[in-house]
Amino acid sequence: MDRRSIRLRLILGVGLALMLITALQAPTEAGRRFTAIQNALFQTKPAPAAANDPGAGVEITAQALPASKFCALGAKAYVVYVPMDVTVANGRHTPIILTRYLHVQRVLIAKNNNEAQSHKYELATPVRAYRSFREMNFGAQPSDESFVVLKHNQTYEFTAVEGVPVRNDAAENIPGTAYPGDLALSIELQTWPFSRDAAAVQRDWTKFGDLISTPVISYPTIIKLVANPATEKCGLLAP
């Protein structure tokens, strides 16, 4: 083999090696997807519900919107009224039956998402149960006026406004208030506001789906509670 052929092969070999190194170092689309999958695997996910949990598979999210009102709660605290977009999704593979009269009966505040999923709350407001006195005809099947039947992955949405008591100074010990900062907010939904026995209704409606009648807590979402906002006098009594 002559010298020219050897030199040409060496040049081609070095060029191919450089191209290979560059390709390995460059961010490819496949590499970006792999990184995204890795990141998703290590993000905090909701803890799985217990197998005997009657609310298992009822997945609730509450997106907090900008506060609508700040009311003074004595001299050292306030109540912020937070509008929320609430979404209930069916994570089961069988249909579920929900009343359209869903009601937020508690607001739950935790330091972070992990503590919220462990039910370690800085603030849990008292339960405010709702009782419907409407004349209800439960009949042989769920009525469209009062109930919704959700198949797998279908959702039902509604809005709510809830008050969160906050102390202005985090160092103060004011019972029944949360401290200001970035905290994890969850809500507890009352799903059966009727005096009628839910078990009896379930027996009549078995072929249409699982009747949800137990309180269910939403996944946590981050909310910012400010210190010392401008407030209105709304006639609230200090705790």
Residues 136 and 35 in one domain: no
Structural domain count of the chain: 2
For residue 113, the SS3 value is helix
Count CB-CB contacts under 10 A for residue 232: 11
* Domain region containing 156: 58-225
pLDDT in tens, 149-181: 999 999 999 999 999 999 999 999 999 999 999
Scanning the chain, the segments in alpha helix (DSSP H) are 3-25, 29-41, 113-117, 198-205
| pLDDT 10s digits, 96-113 | 999 999 999 999 999 999
Among candidate residues 227, 137, 135, the one with its CA nearest the CA of residue 177: 227
**How far from chain centre, in Å, is Cα 33?**
26
Is residue 237 situated within a structural domain?
Answer: no
Residue 63 lies in a domain: yes
Asked whether residue 26 falls in the same domain as residue 110, the answer is: no
- Percent of the chain clearing pLDDT 70 (strictly above): 77
Residue 172 sits in the same domain as residue 82:
yes
For residue range 197-233, what is the model confidence (pLDDT) as tens digits?
A: 999 999 999 999 999 999 999 999 999 999 999 999 9
